[in-house]
Structure 1
Amino acid sequence: MDASEAVALLMSPLGRIDPYPTYERLRAHGPVVQTAAGFFVVTGYTEADTVLRNARLAFEVMDDELRDDVFPHWQDSPAMKSIARSMIRANPPNHGRMRRLAAGAFTPRRIAALREVVTAQADELADEMIRAGRDGAPVDFMGSFAYPLPVAVICALLGVPAADWARFRGWASDLTAVLEPEITPQELTVADAGASELRDYFTELIAQRRRAPADDLTTALVQTHDADGDRLSGEELLANLVLLLVAGFETTTNLLGNGLVVLLAHPDSATALRDQPELAPGHVDELLRYDSPVQLTTRTVRESVLLAGVELPAGSWVLVLLGAANRDPERFTDPTRFDPGRAQSPPLSFGAGAHYCLGAGLARLEAQVAFPLLLRRLPELALAGEPTRRNRLTLRGYETLPVTVSAIAADHGTPAGVARGTP
Structure 2
Amino acid sequence: MRDEPNRGTGPAGTPDAEDPWRRLPAMAPAGRTATTAPGRVRSVADPAAGPPAPPGGRTVAPSPLDPGAALDPHPVHRRLREEFPLTYDPLLRAWVLSRYADVATALTDPRFTHGHRPGDPPCARAHTDVDLAELRAVTERTAYVLARRIAGRPQADLVADFCHWLPAGTVAAAVGVPYRDMMRLVRGRAAAALAGECGAQIAVREKALASFLGNVLSDPDRTAALRDAPAGLVARAWTESLRLDPPVQIAVRRTREDVRVSGGVLPAGSSVALLVGAAGRDPERFREPDRFDPLRDDADQLTYGSGFCPAVVLAGLEAEYALRALFGAMPRLRLADGFRPVSTGLITRAPRSLVVRPNG
For the superposition of Structure 1 and Structure 2, which TM-score range results when normalised by the shorter chain? 0.7 to 0.9
In the alignment, the residues of structure 2 paired with residue 380 and residue 11 of structure 1 have an alpha-carbon distance, to the nearest angstrom, of 40
1:33 is aligned to: 87
In the alignment, the residues of structure 2 paired with residue 19 and residue 263 of structure 1 have an alpha-carbon distance, to the nearest angstrom, of 21
1:264–1:388 Cα change, 3 Å: closer
In the alignment, the residues of structure 2 paired with residue 124 and residue 405 of structure 1 have an alpha-carbon distance, to the nearest angstrom, of 15
Corresponding residue SS for 2:70:
helix
Which of 97, 113, 126 aligns to 1:42? It is: 97
Q: Which amino acid aligns with 1:381?
A: L
- Please state which structure has a larger fraction of its residues in helix: 1
| Mean Cα deviation higher: 328-337 or 363-372 | 363-372
1:334 is aligned to: 288
Deviation string, structure 1 residues 187-222 (Cα, Å, up to 9, x no partner): xxxxxxxxxxx34xx3xxxxxxxxxxxxxxx9xxxx
1:290 lines up with 2:345 in the alignment: no
| Mean Cα deviation higher: 357-366 or 253-262 | 357-366
- Please state which structure has a larger fraction of its residues in strand: 2
Note the 1:230-241 alignment, pairs <5 A.
none
Corresponding residue SS for 2:253:
strand
2:167 is aligned to: 150
Corresponding residue SS for 1:16:
coil
**Aligned-residue CA RMSD in angstroms?**
3.3
Deviation string, structure 1 residues 278-334 (Cα, Å, up to 9, x no partner): 321111111111111121211111111211251111121111111111111111000
1:367 lines up with 2:316 in the alignment: no
Corresponding residue SS for 2:83:
coil
In the alignment, the residues of structure 2 paired with residue 265 and residue 147 of structure 1 have an alpha-carbon distance, to the nearest angstrom, of 19
**8 Å contact kept, 2:211–2:245:** yes
Deviation string, structure 1 residues 215-251 (Cα, Å, up to 9, x no partner): xxx9xxxxxxxxxxxxxxxxxx85x85745540x222
Which of 75, 85, 108 aligns to 1:53? It is: 108
Corresponding residue SS for 1:292:
coil
TM-score, with length taken from structure 1: 0.62
In the alignment, the residues of structure 1 paired with residue 176 and residue 124 of structure 2 have an alpha-carbon distance, to the nearest angstrom, of 19
Note the 1:312-323 alignment, pairs <5 A.
312-323=266-277
In the alignment, the residues of structure 2 paired with residue 147 and residue 270 of structure 1 have an alpha-carbon distance, to the nearest angstrom, of 21
1:302 is aligned to: 256
Corresponding residue SS for 1:260:
helix
Q: Which amino acid aligns with 2:287?
A: T
1:260 lines up with 2:213 in the alignment: yes
In the alignment, the residues of structure 1 paired with residue 238 and residue 351 of structure 2 have an alpha-carbon distance, to the nearest angstrom, of 18
In the alignment, the residues of structure 1 paired with residue 126 and residue 340 of structure 2 have an alpha-carbon distance, to the nearest angstrom, of 35
1:141 is aligned to: 158
2:178 is aligned to: 161
Which of 132, 145, 162 aligns to 1:124? It is: 145
In the alignment, the residues of structure 1 paired with residue 197 and residue 348 of structure 2 have an alpha-carbon distance, to the nearest angstrom, of 14
Corresponding residue SS for 2:224:
helix
Corresponding residue SS for 1:40:
strand
Percent of pairs with identical residues = 33
In the alignment, the residues of structure 2 paired with residue 337 and residue 291 of structure 1 have an alpha-carbon distance, to the nearest angstrom, of 11
In the alignment, the residues of structure 1 paired with residue 339 and residue 197 of structure 2 have an alpha-carbon distance, to the nearest angstrom, of 31
1:154 Cα offset (Å): 0.9
**8 Å contact kept, 1:332–1:344:** yes
**8 Å contact kept, 1:331–1:345:** no
TM-score, with length taken from structure 2: 0.72
| Mean Cα deviation higher: 18-27 or 156-165 | 156-165
In the alignment, the residues of structure 1 paired with residue 82 and residue 127 of structure 2 have an alpha-carbon distance, to the nearest angstrom, of 40
1:336 Cα offset (Å): 0.5
Deviation string, structure 1 residues 142-197 (Cα, Å, up to 9, x no partner): 2221122211111222332222113368xx5xxxxxxxxxxxxxxxxxxxxxxxxx
Deviation string, structure 1 residues 334-393 (Cα, Å, up to 9, x no partner): 00011111012421122568xx97611220121022224423432332333657868632
- State the number of aligned residues: 301
In the alignment, the residues of structure 2 paired with residue 156 and residue 365 of structure 1 have an alpha-carbon distance, to the nearest angstrom, of 14
1:368–1:128 Cα change, 3 Å: same
In the alignment, the residues of structure 1 paired with residue 306 and residue 77 of structure 2 have an alpha-carbon distance, to the nearest angstrom, of 20
In the alignment, the residues of structure 1 paired with residue 69 and residue 185 of structure 2 have an alpha-carbon distance, to the nearest angstrom, of 28
Unaligned runs of 5+ in 2: 1-37, 42-59
**8 Å contact kept, 1:3–1:26:** no
Which of 310, 329, 334 aligns to 1:382? It is: 334
1:31–1:12 Cα change, 3 Å: closer
1:19 lines up with 2:43 in the alignment: no
